[in-house]
């Protein structure tokens, strides 16, 4: 039942993030991305801080200095900055397609830094998946957009966040962890503003878009954090790919974006590689459990 709950939370989170991306992209035509991050970071951090207090948890204490929490916050800052810049400067579907490589990057990171055993088939799938990313970005070709590299930065940062989330102590509440994540993007927003156009006062329409994006983003953020903490990674992670479906729908109907064939092929390669990697992970886990169950007591 925990896996079922985690799957539903993951799908809801992906739909929410796609809607949040839509609102961010809508207001980014006039407001700088740094200002948007500051607004979302302050608002989201305040909401989760109040939520944590309502649950009887302290908001800021020594847990914020735990190495895994610091690592998670750093990944959050790197990933959020990269992806927000990507969706404001490139087509939504393209940025979302590149983001689908995050599970492959998580597998790679788990193998390199957490000592997880990865066989040659999964290494091959990771390599093929990253080739799909290159197919979308098309470096050195006419269709290359340098801004698409921000989506790659988003993949790296969010992979760090997700790996760290798995090893954060279980006694740290999700609301507290989420509050830290939102607050972390505020200084990133100020740094970005130093290199962007001056901030502007949002008009009524922009304020409503930011408000809706904030509320939906907070709910989605809580959902994905909870899903990654309560569910089996191999079961839950495939449902991350539903975000691309939502992004394609929004891109087509809201922004009149139609991804080209190369982008769709690259996205299909990334998703197929990710699903194969997860299949191999699950198969390996089942084999380990069977081996343990057939072992007799030591004599």
Per-residue pLDDT of the chain in tens (299 residues, 90 and over written 9): 788 899 899 999 999 999 999 999 999 989 999 999 999 999 989 998 999 999 888 877 777 888 999 999 999 999 999 999 999 999 999 999 999 998 899 889 988 888 877 888 989 999 999 999 999 998 877 778 899 999 999 999 999 998 998 888 888 888 888 889 889 999 999 999 999 999 999 999 999 999 999 999 888 988 887 887 787 776 787 888 899 999 999 999 999 999 999 999 999 999 999 889 888 877 877 777 777 777 655 44
**Integer CA distances (angstroms), 175 to 15, 47, 98, 182, 185, in order:** 20, 9, 28, 11, 16
> What does DSSP assign to residue 172?
S
Q: How far apart are CA 69 and CA 59, in angstroms?
A: 14
Residue 299's pLDDT is 41
Residue 278's pLDDT is 80
Q: Phi/psi at 111 (nearest 5 deg)?
A: -70, -40
Residue 171's pLDDT is 82
Q: How far apart are CA 269 and CA 156, in angstroms?
A: 19
| Tokens representing residue 122 in the block | 């999964």
- Considering only CA atoms, which of 60, 57, 55 is closest in space to residue 45? 60
- Claim: this prediction has a pTM higher than 0.75: yes
Cβ-based neighbour number of residue 292 at 10 Å? 8
Residue 62's pLDDT is 79
């Amino acid at each position: 039942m925990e896996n079922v709950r985690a799957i539903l939370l993951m799908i809801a989170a992906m739909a929410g993030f796609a809607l949040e991306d839509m609102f961010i992209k809508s207001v980014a035509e006039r407001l700088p991305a740094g200002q948007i991050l500051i607004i979302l970071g302050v608002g989201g951090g305040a909401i989760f801080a109040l939520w944590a207090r309502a649950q009887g948890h302290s908001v800021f204490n020594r847990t914020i200095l735990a190495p895994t929490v610091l690592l998670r916050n750093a990944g959050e800052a790197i990933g959020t900055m990269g992806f927000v810049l990507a969706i404001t400067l490139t087509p939504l579907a393209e940025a979302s397609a590149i983001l689908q490589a995050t599970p492959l990057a998580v597998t790679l990171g788990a193998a390199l830094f957490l000592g997880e055993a990865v066989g040659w088939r999964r290494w091959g799938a990771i390599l093929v998946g990253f080739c799909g990313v290159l197919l979308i970005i098309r470096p050195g070709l006419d269709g290359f957009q340098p801004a698409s590299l921000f989506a790659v930065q988003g993949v790296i940062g969010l992979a760090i966040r997700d790996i760290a989330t798995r090893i954060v102590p279980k006694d740290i509440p999700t609301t507290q962890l989420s509050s830290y994540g939102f607050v972390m993007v505020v200084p990133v927003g100020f740094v970005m503003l130093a290199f962007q156009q001056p901030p502007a006062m949002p008009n009524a329409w922009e304020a409503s878009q930011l408000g809706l994006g904030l509320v939906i983003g907070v709910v989605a953020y809580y959902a994905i954090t909870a899903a990654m903490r309560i569910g089996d990674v191999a079961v839950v992670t495939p449902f991350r790919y539903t975000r691309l479906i939502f992004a394609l729908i929004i891109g087509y109907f809201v922004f009149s974006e139609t991804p080209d064939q190369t982008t769709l092929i690259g996205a299909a390669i990334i998703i197929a590689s990710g699903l194969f990697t997860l299949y191999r992970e699950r198969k390996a886990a089942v084999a380990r459990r069977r081996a343990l169950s057939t072992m007799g007591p030591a004599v």
